[in-house]
Amino acid sequence: MNTARPSLLRRVLALVAFGLLAGGVVATGASLVSRDLCGDEVGAAAVRACDDLVRTLSIRTGLLAGVVSVLMGLLVLGLIRTARQDEEDRRIRRREDLEALQGRIPPASAGER
């Protein structure tokens, strides 16, 4: 069983794919929901301008959702990394305390922790 952590490149690619997927879903959803907002009784030029506005706003919304998704993914990865490091530090301190109790090494002073 391979328990190696994914490489940095694989993580970046996964985050970018997640951002593209989230942005695409949001942009598509925004376009579908707002498709009927531009009435056709005003005139062809006005309807075309309204459709263009709705499309560009949908794309912008999708891009923003994608960027925010990537940032949230980076935040989660950072929190996971911090939790792993804290657990490793806690394990090392516990081992040092146990060895100090057994008399193998002198106890660490409170200021060194």
Instruction: Determine what percent of the chain falls in helix, strand and coil, rounding each to the nearest 5.
Output: 80, 0, 20
Q: Which residue has the tokens 């912008």?
A: 60
pLDDT at 27: 92
Alpha-carbon span 70 to 99, nearest angstrom: 44
- Residue 37, C-beta contacts closer than 8 angstroms, at least 6 positions apart: 50, 54
Segment 73-95, tens digit of pLDDT: 999 989 999 999 999 999 999 98
The conformation of residue 34, written as its DSSP 8-state character, comes to T
pLDDT at 42: 65
pLDDT at 109: 59
- Backbone φ and ψ for 39, nearest 5 degrees, come out as -70, 165
Q: How many residues does the chain have?
A: 113
pTM exceeds 0.85 for this model = no
Sites in the chain below the pLDDT cut of 50: 1
The conformation of residue 104, written as its DSSP 8-state character, comes to S
